[in-house]
C-alpha cells in the first residue's frame, strides 16, 4: 500500500501539519508583539516587577515568606504521602484495607499529619509574614491582589454552598410559604446580572449605613457602619502554632474514631462510641497544649478612637459587598443544582429509609445526600469556577484584587502584554486547581460497577 493511502500515516501527517501550523502561528504572534512593542518604545520582559510600586492598597493581606527550613516540612509531607500510598498498595495486594485495623489508620495519620506538623513546629522560625507597603515592589503588589482574590474565592465557595443547600431544602419543604420564598429567591437572583448585584449591595445597602460614631453596636463586639464591619481579632501568642497543630491532629483523629465505630458496627451490629471519644480528643488535646504553653491567642476588641475604630479586625465595605454579592448570586444556582440532585434519588430510597425507622434528618444525611452528590458535584464545579472568575468584577466596587491591582501596574509601567499574561496564567491555574480537586472528589464518590 502506498504511504499516502495508509490511514495511520495520513493521520500522523495531519497531526504533524496541525502542530507545525500552531507553532508557526505562535512564533508569528510573538515576533509581531515584540516589533509592535519596540515601535512604541516599550521594553519587554518581567524585570519591571522588581520596581517600587508607590501606590496604596486598601485591602492588605498578610503574606507568608518561606525560608530554606520550610523545605524540610515539604519533604516530610511528600515522604508521608508517598509512604501512605505505598502502604495502601501493599495492603491492597494482601486484600486488606487501611480501615480494617486501627494501626494502619494511626500509621497514615502519623505519616501525613503528625510528622509533617512536628517538623513545621520545630522549624517554626523558617516562616515569616510580611505586608505590602507603598515602598514594596510590583511583585508584592500582585501577590497581595492574588491573596485577596483567593480569599474571596474560598469564602464565596463555602458560603454559597451552605446557603444553596438551605435554599434547596427550603424549596423541597412541604411548607408552602417557605417553598415559595425560596423559589422567588432563586428566580430573582439567577436572572439579575452579578455586577448589578454587587452595585446593589455596595451603593444601596452598605453605603446607606450610619457613620462611624453612629455605628450599629451588637453587644460591644460587632460594630457596623458605612466603613465596614469591625469585630474582635485573635492575636497569636508563643503557643499559637502548637495549639493549631494540636487542633489539626485532633481533627484528623476523628477519622480514626469514625472508622473504628463503623468497623464495630459491621462486626457486632451495634454502633461504636463516637461522641464521647470525639469530644475528649477535640477538647483534651488542645486543652493540654493550652495548659502547658499558656493562652495561644489574645482577644483584641475594636475601640472607637478619633474618627475610626482601632484594634480588632475590620472588613472593608468593598470586601463585604463582593462576598455577599457573589454568595447570593451563586447560591441561587447551587440551590437548583442541589435540588435536582436530591430529586434524582428515587422515592423508594426515602421510603425504605423511613421503613427502617430513621428520622428525617438521618434519611437526608445518610441516604439521600450521599447518592445525590454524584449528580451534584459535576455542575457544582462550574459554579465554583464562576466565583473565581467573577471575582474580577470587584473592580466595579473598588476592591483591590488581582485585576484591579494589575490594572494600576499596567497604567504605571505600560507592560500590557506581561500583565495580561499574568492575569491569564493566574486565573487558568486557579481554574485548573479547582477542577482537579472537584474531579478527584467526584471520582471518589462515583459508583463502582462490578
Cell of 189: 437572583
Mean pLDDT of the chain: 83
Number of domains in the chain: 1
280 vs 369: CA distance, rounded Å: 29
Lowest mean pLDDT among 73-82, 102-111, 234-243, 335-344: 102-111
**Would 25 be classed as within a structural domain?**
yes
pLDDT at 160 over 90: yes
Q: Where does the pLDDT of residue 271 fall: very low under 50, low under 70, confident under 90, or very high at 90 and above?
A: low
Centroid of chain to Cα 241: 22
pLDDT of residue 67: 67
Q: What is the pLDDT of residues 312-331, one digit of tens each?
A: 777 888 888 899 999 999 99
A 10 A CB-CB count for 394 gives 27
Bridge partner list, 300: 233
Can you tell me whether residue 129 is helix, strand or coil? strand
Across 210-224, 262-276, 371-385, the highest mean pLDDT is recorded for 371-385
Whether the per-residue pLDDT at 124 is higher than 70: the answer is no
Residues 281/250, Cβ–Cβ less than 8 Å:
yes
pLDDT of 249 = 81
In this structure, the dihedral spanned by the alpha carbons of residues 442, 150, 432 and 337, taken in order and rounded to 10 degrees, is 40
**From 102-106, 241-245, 397-401, the region with the lowest mean pLDDT:** 102-106
Choose the most confident range, by mean pLDDT, from 40-49, 108-117, 412-421.
412-421
Q: Provide, rounded to the nearest whole percent, the portion of the chain with pLDDT above 70.
A: 94
Range of weakest confidence among 55-59, 66-70, 197-201, 306-310? 66-70
What average pLDDT does the segment 204-214 reach? 85
Which pLDDT tens digit goes with each residue over 37-85? 777 776 677 788 888 888 888 888 777 776 666 777 778 888 888 888 8
Between 122 and 349, name the one with better pLDDT: 349
| Whether pLDDT at 199 is above 80 | yes
Distance between CA 4 and CA 269 in Å, rounded?
69
Domain presence at residue 370 = no
* 428 has pLDDT over 80: yes
358's grid cell: 430513621
As a whole number, mean pLDDT of residues 17-23 equals: 93
Asked whether residue 44 is domain-assigned, the answer is no
Domain membership of residue 29 as a residue range? 3-39
Claim: this prediction has a pTM higher than 0.95 = no
Does residue 448 have a pLDDT over 70?
Answer: no
Give pLDDT, residue 220. 76
Residue 89 pLDDT > 90, yes or no? Answer: no
Q: In the chain, what are the helix, strand and coil shares in percent, each to the nearest 5?
A: 70, 10, 20
As a whole number, mean pLDDT of residues 223-252 equals 82
Residues 199 and 192 sit within 8 Å (Cβ to Cβ): no
Does residue 247 register a pLDDT over 70?
A: yes
Nearest to 155 by CA among 388, 423, 381, 313: 388
The arithmetic mean of pLDDT across residues 209-214, rounded, is 83
Phi, psi of 41 (to 5 degrees): 70, 25
Do residues 409 and 136 touch, judged by C-beta distance below 8 A?
no
User: What is the C-alpha separation between 243 and 119, in angstroms, rounded?
Assistant: 15
pLDDT at 429 over 80: yes
pLDDT grade for 185, boundaries at 50, 70 and 90: very high
Distances (CA, A) of 319 to 68, 228, 345, 392, 408: 34, 9, 38, 12, 19
Stretch (H or E) spanning 74: helix 70-93
Give the cell for residue 440.
478527584
Beta bridge partners, 235, equal: 298
In a domain, 20, yes or no: yes
Report phi then psi at 227, rounded to 5.
-90, -5
Q: Which comes out higher in pLDDT, residue 219 or 18? A: 18
Report how far residue 79's alpha carbon sits from residue 363's, in angstroms, rounded to the nearest whole number: 40
CB–CB of 186/336 below 8 Å?
A: yes
The C-alpha cell at 71 is 523545605
Q: Are 28 and 22 in contact (CB under 8 A)?
A: no
Cell numbers describing residue 206: 452598605
Q: Does residue 7 lie in a domain region?
A: yes
Report yes or no: 249 and 115 within 8 Å, Cβ to Cβ.
no
Q: Judging by DSSP bridges, how do beta strands 313-315 and 297-300 pair with one another?
A: unpaired
Confidence of residue 120 (pLDDT cuts 50, 70, 90): confident
- CA atoms of 62 and 59, how far apart (whole Å): 10
Question: First-to-last CA distance in the chain?
Answer: 44
DSSP state of 213: T
Residue 434 in domain? no
Reported confidence tier of residue 450, pLDDT bands at 50, 70, 90: low
Over range 161-174, report the average pLDDT.
90
Q: How confident is the model at residue 153 (pLDDT cuts 50, 70, 90)?
A: very high
17 found inside a domain = yes
User: How far, in Å, CA of 252 to CA of 82, rounded?
Assistant: 18
- b/e map of 225-250 (b: 16 or more CB within 10 Å)? bebbbbbeeeeeeebbbbbbbbebbb
26 within domain boundaries: yes
Amino acid at each position: 500500500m502506498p504511504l499516502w493511502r495508509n490511514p495511520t500515516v495520513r493521520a500522523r501527517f495531519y497531526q504533524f501539519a496541525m502542530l507545525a501550523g500552531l507553532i508557526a502561528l505562535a512564533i508569528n504572534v510573538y515576533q509581531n508583539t515584540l516589533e509592535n512593542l519596540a515601535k512604541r518604545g516599550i521594553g519587554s520582559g518581567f524585570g519591571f516587577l522588581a520596581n517600587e510600586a508607590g501606590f496604596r492598597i486598601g485591602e492588605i493581606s498578610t503574606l507568608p515568606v518561606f525560608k530554606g527550613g520550610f523545605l524540610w516540612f515539604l519533604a516530610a509531607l511528600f515522604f508521608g504521602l508517598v509512604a501512605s500510598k505505598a502502604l495502601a498498595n501493599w495492603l491492597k495486594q494482601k486484600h486488606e484495607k487501611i480501615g480494617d485495623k486501627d494501626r494502619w489508620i494511626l500509621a497514615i495519620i502519623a505519616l501525613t499529619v503528625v510528622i509533617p506538623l512536628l517538623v513545621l513546629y520545630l522549624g517554626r522560625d523558617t516562616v515569616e509574614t510580611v505586608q505590602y507597603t507603598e515602598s514594596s515592589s510590583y511583585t508584592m503588589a500582585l501577590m497581595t491582589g492574588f491573596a485577596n482574590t483567593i480569599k474571596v474565592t474560598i469564602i464565596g465557595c463555602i458560603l454559597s454552598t451552605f446557603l444553596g443547600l438551605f435554599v434547596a431544602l427550603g424549596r423541597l419543604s412541604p411548607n408552602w410559604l417557605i417553598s415559595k420564598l425560596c423559589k422567588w429567591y432563586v428566580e430573582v437572583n439567577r436572572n439579575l446580572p452579578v455586577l448589578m448585584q454587587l452595585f446593589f449591595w455596595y451603593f444601596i445597602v452598605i453605603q446607606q449605613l450610619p457613620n462611624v460614631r453612629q455605628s450599629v453596636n451588637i453587644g460591644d463586639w460587632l460594630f457596623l457602619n458605612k466603613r465596614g464591619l469591625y469585630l474582635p481579632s485573635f492575636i497569636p501568642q508563643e503557643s499559637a502554632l502548637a495549639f493549631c497543630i494540636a487542633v489539626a491532629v485532633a481533627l484528623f483523629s476523628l477519622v480514626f474514631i469514625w472508622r473504628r465505630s463503623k468497623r464495630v458496627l459491621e462486626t457486632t451490629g451495634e454502633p461504636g462510641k463516637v461522641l464521647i471519644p470525639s469530644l475528649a480528643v477535640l477538647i483534651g488535646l488542645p486543652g493540654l497544649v493550652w495548659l502547658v504553653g499558656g493562652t495561644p491567642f489574645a482577644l483584641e476588641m475594636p475601640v472607637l478612637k478619633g474618627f475610626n475604630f482601632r484594634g480588632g479586625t475590620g472588613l472593608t465595605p468593598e470586601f463585604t459587598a463582593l462576598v455577599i454579592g457573589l454568595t447570593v448570586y451563586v447560591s441561587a444556582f447551587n440551590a437548583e443544582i442541589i435540588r435536582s440532585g436530591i430529586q434524582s434519588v428515587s422515592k423508594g430510597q426515602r421510603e425504605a429509609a423511613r421503613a427502617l425507622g430513621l428520622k428525617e434528618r438521618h434519611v437526608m444525611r445518610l441516604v439521600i445526600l450521599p447518592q445525590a452528590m454524584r449528580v451534584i458535584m459535576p455542575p457544582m464545579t462550574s459554579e465554583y469556577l464562576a466565583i473565581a472568575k467573577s471575582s474580577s468584577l470587584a473592580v466595579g466596587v473598588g476592591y483591590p484584587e488581582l485585576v484591579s491591582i494589575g490594572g494600576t501596574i499596567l497604567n504605571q509601567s505600560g507592560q500590557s502584554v506581561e500583565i495580561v499574561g499574568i492575569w491569564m496564567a493566574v486565573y487558568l491555574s486557579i481554574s485548573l486547581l479547582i477542577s482537579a480537586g472537584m474531579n478527584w472528589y467526584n471520582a471518589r464518590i462515583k459508583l463502582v460497577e462490578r
